[in-house]
């Protein structure tokens, strides 16, 4: 029974990692659709979002079954609880990619972004995909140091996000309110995507160590 149980735990981790890969692909495609006004690619991201939603449902169903049937403790319990929280973050990552794709579709055939901010979003897109792929690896390996390394890429994302505000607020901004709003919202989508990827990795640190990064019991 215990051997079968641990096989199920590994299957749960594999399903989470697959979901993470789906979220990475979604944002990669959404970014391309945004920067290249590629409507078919935007439509693909939009239609594929249901697959990520379904994957979350499967992960949660599997996790709750393990809780109900096996009453796990210690590391096993942490694994199941982490999976439930990580699945939520991964679905949210898919939703954020969906928002990007919808913006590309809404403005098509016109570009969503002014040319001067497009390079920032190209870089944010690369960072977002990198963070998701790194989180995918961490789910497989539960490598604590690799999980913590996601903070570096996320800091880069935050720096670009903050810089976008200076570009929008500059007196030389000549693209109007609508473009400023689109740029602000899209920047927020990428920034939040990175935060969720870090959250997924932090859940794996919790599985491995029993502590969430940044948590200090002395503060209680």
Give the mean model confidence (pLDDT) for residues 187-213: 94
**129-188 pLDDT, tens digit each:** 999 999 999 999 999 999 999 999 999 999 999 999 999 999 999 999 999 999 999 999
Q: What is the pLDDT of residue 46?
A: 98
Q: What is the pTM of this model?
A: 0.93
DSSP assignment letter at 219: G
pLDDT at 15 over 50: yes
pLDDT at 17 over 70: yes
Residue position matching structure tokens 């579709």: 105
Residues in the chain: 220
Q: What is the pLDDT of residue 1?
A: 56
- Mean pLDDT, the chain, rounded, equals 93
Which residue ranges make up each domain of the chain?
2-213
Rounded to whole angstroms, how far apart are CA atoms 104 and 32?
9
- CATH tag, 2-213: 1.20.58.220
Q: What is the pLDDT of residue 214?
A: 64
Closest listed residue to residue 128, CA positions, set 187, 212, 83, 206: 187
């Amino acid at each position: 029974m215990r051997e079968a149980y641990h096989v199920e735990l590994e299957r749960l981790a594999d399903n989470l990692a697959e979901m993470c890969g789906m979220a990475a692909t979604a944002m990669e495609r959404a970014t391309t659709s945004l920067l290249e006004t590629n409507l078919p690619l935007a439509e693909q991201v939009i239609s594929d979002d249901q697959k990520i939603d379904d994957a979350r449902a499967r992960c949660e169903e599997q996790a709750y079954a393990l809780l109900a049937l096996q009453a796990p403790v210690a590391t096993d319990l942490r694994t199941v609880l982490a999976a439930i929280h990580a699945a939520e973050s991964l679905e949210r990552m898919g939703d954020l990619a969906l928002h990007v794709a919808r913006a590309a579709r809404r403005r098509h055939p016109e570009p969503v972004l002014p040319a001067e901010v497009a390079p920032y979003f190209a870089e944010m897109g690369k960072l977002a995909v990198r963070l998701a792929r790194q989180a995918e690896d961490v789910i497989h390996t539960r490598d604590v140091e690799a999980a913590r390394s996601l903070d570096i890429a996320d800091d880069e994302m935050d720096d670009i996000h903050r810089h976008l505000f200076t570009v929008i607020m500059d007196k030389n901004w000549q693209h109007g309110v609508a473009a400023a709003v689109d740029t602000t919202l899209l920047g927020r989508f990428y920034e939040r995507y990175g935060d969720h990827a870090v959250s997924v990795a932090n859940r794996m640190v919790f599985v491995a160590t029993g502590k969430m990064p940044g948590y200090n019991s002395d503060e209680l």
